[in-house]
Chains A and B, each alone.
Chain A
Amino acid sequence: MNDVKKGWSRDEMAQRAALDIPDGSYVNLGIGMPELIAKFVPEGREVIYHTENGLLGMGPAPEPGQENPELINAGKKQVTAIPGAAYFHHADSFTMIRGHHIDICVLGTMQVAENGDLANWSTGAPGAIPAVGGAMDLVAGVETIYVLTQHCTRDGQPKLLETCTFPLTGRGVANRIYTDLAVIDVTSEGFEVIELAPGISFDYVQERTGARLSQDKLKASA
Chain B
Amino acid sequence: MIDKKYASLASAVADIHDGATVMVGGFGEAGSPIELIHALIDHGAKDLTVVNNNTGSGHVGLAALIENRQVGKMICSFPRTANSTVFPDLYRANEIELELVPQGTLAERIRAGGAGIPAFYTATKVGTPLAEGFETRVFDGREYVMEYGLTADFALIKCRKADHYGNLVYNKTARNFSPIMATAAKVTIAQAGEFVEAGALDPEVVVTPGIYVNRLVEVTNPQHESELVAAQRSYP
Contact = CB atoms under 8 A, between A and B. Distances in A.
A174 B106 CA distance: 24
B122 A98 contact: yes
A91 B128 contact: no
A140 B123 contact: yes
B130 interface: yes
Given A70-B172, A131-B79, A141-B123, A53 B128 contact: no
A87 B78 contact: no
B60 to A, nearest CB: 13
A89 B80 CA distance: 22
A59 to B, nearest CB: 12
A19 interface: no
Given A89-B179, A133-B78, A70 B173 contact: yes
A90 B110 CA distance: 10
A132 B77 contact: yes
Which of under 10, 10 to 19, 20 to 34, or 35 or more describes the interface residues of A?
35 or more
Contact of B177 (A70, A90, A140): A90
Contacts of B170: 87
B28 A72 contact: yes
A91 B78 contact: no
Contacts of B82: 76
A135 B105 CA distance: 11
B20 interface: no
Given A136-B124, A141-B124, A167-B129, A89 B207 contact: yes
Interface in A147-180: 167-171
A110 to B, nearest CB: 14
Interface of B: 27-31, 77-82, 87-88, 91-92, 98, 100-108, 110-111, 122-130, 170-180, 207, 224-227
Interface of A: 51-55, 68-73, 76, 81, 87-91, 93-94, 97-98, 117, 124, 127, 129-137, 140-141, 167-171
Contacts of B172: 55, 68, 70-71, 81, 87
A71 B105 CA distance: 23
B138 to A, nearest CB: 14
A91 B107 contact: yes
Most chain A CB within 10 A, of B126, B170, B174, is at: B174
A71 B176 CA distance: 11
A137 B104 contact: yes
Given A53-B27, A71-B30, A170-B128, 19 more contacts: A69-B224, A69-B227, A90-B106, A90-B176, A90-B177, A91-B108, A94-B107, A127-B92, A129-B79, A131-B79, A132-B101, A133-B103, A136-B105, A136-B128, A136-B130, A137-B102, A141-B124, A167-B128, A171-B128
B175 A140 contact: no
Given A89-B175, A134-B104, A141-B104, A53 B30 contact: yes
Most chain B CB within 10 A, of A71, A97, A136, is at: A136
A39 B29 CA distance: 26
Contacts of B100: 130-132
A53 B172 CA distance: 10
B111 A69 contact: no
Contact of A72 (B30, B98, B105): B30
B173 A54 contact: yes
Nearest to B29: A69
Nearest to A90: B107
A149 to B, nearest CB: 19
Given A52-B103, A91-B108, A141-B123, A129 B173 contact: no
Contacts of B178: 89
Given A70-B31, A70-B172, A94-B108, A131 B78 contact: yes
9 contacts: A69-B224, A87-B170, A89-B176, A129-B92, A134-B104, A136-B130, A137-B104, A141-B124, A167-B129
Contacts of B224: 69
B174 A70 contact: yes
A70 B126 CA distance: 33
Nearest to A134: B103
